[in-house]
Structure 1
Amino acid sequence: MFKKKPQIKNLSPLRSSDRRKLADQIIADYKVHVPTLAEIDPTTTTADGQAPTSNPTPALSSVRTSLVPESCLSARFTTHAGPNSTLVSGTIYVGAHPGQEERILWIQYGKDAKLYPTVYTLWHNPGIVPLLHTPDFVVEKLRTGADLMTPGLVGGPPWPERAKQGTVIAVAGLEKPSVPIWVGICKIDISSLGRVQGSKGAAVEGVHWEGDELWNWSQIGSGGRAPPERIEDWEPTPEGVEEGVGKLDLEDNDEDDAQEGGVALEPSNIAGQSGAEGKGFNGVHEEGEPEHEPSTAEVDEAFVQAFIYAIYNAKKDGDPPHYGMDFPLQPSFVIANMIQPHLKFQNQHFTIKKTSWKNTKKFIKHLDKSALVKTKDRNGGETVILDIDFHDEKVRAFAPYKLPKPKTASATPNDGGQATSNGGSDPSLGQKLTLQTVYRASSKLVPDLIPSKTTYYTSSQISAFLKKYFENNPSLSTGTSSPRFVKLDPFIANNILSSNPSASDTRTLALGEIARDALLKRILDDSHLCLPHWLLLRNGQTYDPDNPDPALKPKSGPPPHVNIVLEKRTGTKVVTRISGLEVFGINPHLLGPELQKKCAGSASVGQLVGGKPGVMEVLVQGDHSDVVEKEVGRRGVDRRWVVVDDKTKKKKK
């Protein structure tokens, strides 16, 4: 629903009585269980153990505060939603959970007085709504505003009993099955469903999701907060959820489903999730894959061996005492940069969910118990690695094994379909990029100076038009103080200099003449006269304004640039953040490992905070702006297109 940014009015604090009423309404609507005195203390008499609303207990106050924090604010909002962009108005409730910034926690809109939780509320209040599951590739499509189709449900039957028509539900992907990232309303009675493959129509209508404008809202402008890795108190993953993906039947996914506007299940994606494309796992699909489905113990061993392999490589390539490792190591870095690249078998059977630990935190704790690493628990439940025993006997006796060949990345869409000549797996290496600026004239200049206001012109073409205008009006060049100057006529004075006038324009009008080059600069610099657009040309592409290529469409606004931000974290530690890569055809997932090697430090790739879903940033430990500039330069990015923001330096007062 909230694909477009809502217009939010001024926030105002809730009175304590209104906050309690709001919390009690939520408790009643969502049937939130509040322990009574009898449940807290079995010795309490029956009279003391009355309903929570009639006899408040400390537990009731705690539940109220968890649902609606004491510092809760409210504001009215308007937005356009739906296929017809219908105007929708309602109320948002903003609050801050302990140790975190303020976020939108509840939504109320339309004629219905029902309150809808955001993902921030669900992350702190497990179990208040039923939790459904769907494959991760479907989650990505749900983030575009599509409804969840019935065939996209996995994990049942049986389905959650509370998932009835009209109820609010949450949806999680299979990668993080305990973390809800999508909120919707049941359009059908899901609890009574049987086998969903072959069914048609939408099951859940989307209201809010991680990545939309409500998730992204923040008073301090910091953008959305990334979801946690795991929420232990949410309902456990329904039995057979992961196995259910491989059983999805695609034959009934016909045009009727597509007409509903929901998420279609693509055969290619199902095959990718299930790992089956016509024969079971007992057959050999790719070189290096085992001929049988591995046991949990085998997957555990593969993860431990992959971690030791990463330590072995670090010792081989780095210098003591830390061998290029920048501690503490985050869980995401351990999985992405140490485990995944060094797994002997890289397929759907070798994931953290298939291990006996089920999540990264318990895996790291296991390494700590084996005396291979030293760990520490941080606020929020995250476990980081503080140190590694590089001289452990398991590392000394490690025998390297053959790793699967990395899959070659495909060429970028705009490189003309040409194969890369660098021989590597990164198609952006060696590419040649050119930024070209073109202009679109306003009606003030048409047709006296420029022929059309729909055509894009280069600066040289606009200069030629201006020169031709002077030739057609020779009186403008006579009687001036210098041959470089021209007189002002009504067109120049009224249409050019009077458009967004400045102090220099006023002086020019008083003088009655202007330099030719100054007039051209005045036209090009004023967006009210010529709106600038940019084109990024790759590998020798050219743009002819007289005969434009339909595939090359100029984009308005300032030209793109690569952002390099240096900032301090946890005291004196400096990190380098790189974003804005995708527009230049650079894959952050390929650049990250390369920077890790070049910078001899840890690097990770994640969602850009405050950016659109799918826009990534690379984070490298340490100050490596020079290395980053060199690496993006090898990928065709000119130094003029790189913006470095050093936040580590103290600002001058």
Structure 2
Amino acid sequence: MFAKVFKVKSNTVMKGSDRRKLRADVNSAFPVLTAENLAELMPSKEELNVVKIYTHKGDAVTIYVHNHNPIMFELQRKLYPSVYTLWRFPDLLSAFATWQPVLEKMVGGADLMLPGVVVPSSGLPEVQQGTLCVVTVVGNRAPVAVGLATMSSKEMLASGMKGKGINVLHTYRDQLWAFGDKSCPPTIAPLEENPATAEKEDQDLPQETEVPEQRDGALPEVPEAELEQLTRTAVDTAVSQNNADKEDEEEETDDSISNQRTPQEVMDSLLHQCFFNALKYKVKKADLPLLTSTFLRNYLYLCCPEGQQVDIKKSSYKKLSKFLQSMQQRKILQVKELNKGVESIVDIDWKHPDIRCFVAPATEVATPAVTEFDTGMGENPYQPPEITTLYGISAKMKALFQDTGHSKGDLLTQSDVRSVLITYVKTNELVDTDNKNFVKINPILCDCLLDKSEYNDVALLKWDDLISRCLERMQHSHKIVFPGRTPIVRKGTIDPIDINVAQRGSNKKVTLIKNLELYGMDPSSIANLLQQRVQASATCTLLPGAKDRVQVQIQGNQVFNVGKLLLEDFKIPRRYVNGLDLGAKPGKKK
């Protein structure tokens, strides 16, 4: 459950009444604990925090924290002890022993399979299906995992110790453990320290292996090489069976889990995945300091899985600055305002546990950022984006689109909007019988498309007028698709590349170019390219009045050369370039 990074929703100090209720609930759930034990676990005069989180699979979990260590976690109104609590009270629950290699698999999110359980000479502990129990490692009674038994002890033995034994909820070295002080398990000696018993347990591990007969009460000796082979066989069997069960289980649960999660939680999970992927595999130390806008555009977006799209406004953070502030509080990175109004990432802790434990999805394919441009010595890797205007369904227009399964906020193309309108008009038989070029206005069309002053006067609209009115009243957005990259959707219409000529001192002119970033171009690369082509100095400066935007400035009136570069070399459509009329075509050389 806690194998991957979880998201903290809140962290507050418990009130006295809530603390008393928790103590009563713990006492009810674990009657073995005495009043002195509860006082030790939750001292009355010390601070106790309640932390609400969402796991990577969307489960809502409440964690109770004392002295920076989680002592209990609550899932679906049931309390479970953490390993920190179990180390204080190792005999709190029934225990199953296993081998160290099996623990490594459980830390990665695997359940405990019965072939990996060491059966002692005294037999398995008596448990029923659903009983809360712990897992220990052979030779140490300190619990390293807690979970629920999938069957009773009798059923485990009847199955020949095959199949899944315990659904593991929490382990040593998982993210819940990492939420505390990350201390290691204490060494607690087993209740029985008979070497012959331990040797007998080793022999009992693989059920299919023939065990030599016991004679005169003495257990047979097993060669060390053979014992190692038996242990390896049991571990491999446990892991292979667990992997098979995991694959079947994930196929069944992935859809149900995704349905239980809200869109905001899904976006938070995707944002965290792309963020840690970018830090671990994309950003290098040489890239720092890194503008936050550049990090978002050239690193985080590129780590988004195919078919998905990161939209921070749909997450619980709403803004990039708020998200990065949260990551800074977790000491993952450091953000500073190097220039007024412009934030940059100045430091990243690549040794942070959240970054080190992150593993990129196997299906993800790294796509290089579009930062290289043609220098006249090779092929041009830049490909112009495909820009599509989208129309969002507003609250006022919702009634017109709900019959086709669309809801508020959905984005449609112009052809989609036209198709929906045609379907709506034909379904409701609104085509004028006298002139099929007109559509009759019903109450829904009236509310959505007409002004108040037109309510009593307009009964018919032409098809073109109907569609144009609908498009005007929808929320405009645009989608930018670069070849091989995740589509980017932004609200409003895309700003064109703006070329302007400004006057400087001594009657000198300079050409200014802005909004290159919106079309996937690196302003510094464009400045270098222009500088080489026109043999004039070019610089990049922050755009006045616009945060995280850069404009290119080059000496002289270079509008003609800039236009030629953008239209011919980079294939930018002319409608997305403003200011081309400000430059005069250079005269012929004499």
Structure 2-normalised TM-score? 0.39
Structure with the larger helix share: 2
Larger Rg: 2
